[in-house]
């Protein structure tokens, strides 16, 4: 039985979510922006946005999170669920937190009637890829990107 729980994020989690969000961005060498962080957190609670979040908590302390969103697909009748962000604090890795967060997103996607859950990770993220290879099918797709568009 795990000594943590996964639950929907709450507005009161902002102070603990922020450092985890920053650590996730640092891990992926992405730029931190207060403006983007504030907008991301606000979108989670906006009923007109497709963004959702779950957190893992142990003893009142957040130890991980996931952001996911639902989107239409031209290949499917039902929406699909994109697990956009998944982060577990370094001290907690390997303890089942990531697996539990993924399972919770899958549960939310099933409840919403989504056809599938998918995500991306960097090819160098070996620790996470071991988990992902155990819980999901690698599709072989390679992502291409054009940015910035401004």
pLDDT above 90 (res 150)? no
Tell me the two tokens of residue 92. 């907690």
Q: Does residue 29 register a pLDDT over 80?
A: yes
127 vs 103, more confident: 103
**How much is the average pLDDT of 68-83?**
95
Copy the structure tokens of residue 124.
């160098």
Domain residue spans in the chain? 5-135
pLDDT above 90: residue 142: no
**In whole angstroms, what is the distance from residue 43 CA to residue 143 CA?**
25
Q: Flag whether pLDDT at 146 surpasses 90.
A: no
The domain made up of 5-135 has a fold known as Aminopeptidase (3.40.630)
Query: What is the per-residue pLDDT for 56?
Result: 98
Exposure class string for 98-123: b at 16+ Cβ within 10 A, else e? bbbbbebbbebbeeeebeebebeeee
């Amino acid at each position: 039985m795990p000594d943590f729980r996964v639950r929907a994020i709450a507005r009161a989690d902002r102070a603990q979510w922020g450092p985890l969000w920053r650590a996730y961005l640092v891990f992926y060498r992405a730029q931190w922006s207060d403006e983007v962080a504030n907008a991301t957190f606000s979108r989670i609670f906006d009923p007109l946005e497709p963004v959702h979040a779950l957190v893992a908590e142990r003893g009142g302390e957040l130890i991980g999170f996931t952001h996911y969103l639902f989107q239409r697909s031209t290949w499917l009748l039902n929406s699909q669920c994109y697990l956009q962000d998944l982060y577990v604090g370094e001290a907690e890795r390997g303890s089942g937190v990531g697996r539990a967060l993924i399972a919770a997103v899958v549960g939310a996607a099933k409840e919403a009637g989504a056809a599938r859950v998918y995500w991306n990770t960097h090819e160098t993220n070996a620790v996470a890829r071991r988990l992902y290879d155990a819980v999901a099918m690698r599709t072989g797709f390679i992502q291409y990107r054009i940015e910035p568009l401004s």
